Amino acid sequence: MYTATEIDQLLAAAAALPSPDTLTPHMYRTLIGLLVATGLRISQALALQIEDLRDDGLLIRKTKFQKTRLVPLHETA
């Protein structure tokens, strides 16, 4: 479990990664934010496809017990 301060520090460190002219800092900052906001496992987040984004949330196909579930997303996510 991370505190809000630690999460802010992780996000800031991701944004400060080398290669500011690439998508790398943005990608890691977005990934960390997604993990924090949804509680997904890293493997679930990395397996997401664009078609998994639905009007009512994220469709997670590779759950711990090989089931499919819908993770609601706040509009700010």
Given a cut of 90, is residue 7 above it in pLDDT? Answer: yes
Q: For the chain, which residues make up each domain, given as ranges?
A: 4-71
Given a cut of 80, is residue 50 above it in pLDDT? Answer: yes
Contacts of 73 (CB under 8 A, 6+ apart): 37, 38, 57, 58
CA dist., res. 64 & res. 68, Å (int) = 10
Given a cut of 90, is residue 11 above it in pLDDT? Answer: yes
Query: Regarding predicted confidence, which is higher, 6 or 19?
Result: 6
Task: Give the pLDDT of residue 74.
Answer: 79
Task: Give the pLDDT of residue 24.
Answer: 92
Q: What is the mean pLDDT of residues 63-76?
A: 83
Query: Cβ distance 48 to 70 under 8 Å?
Result: no
Global pTM? Answer: 0.81
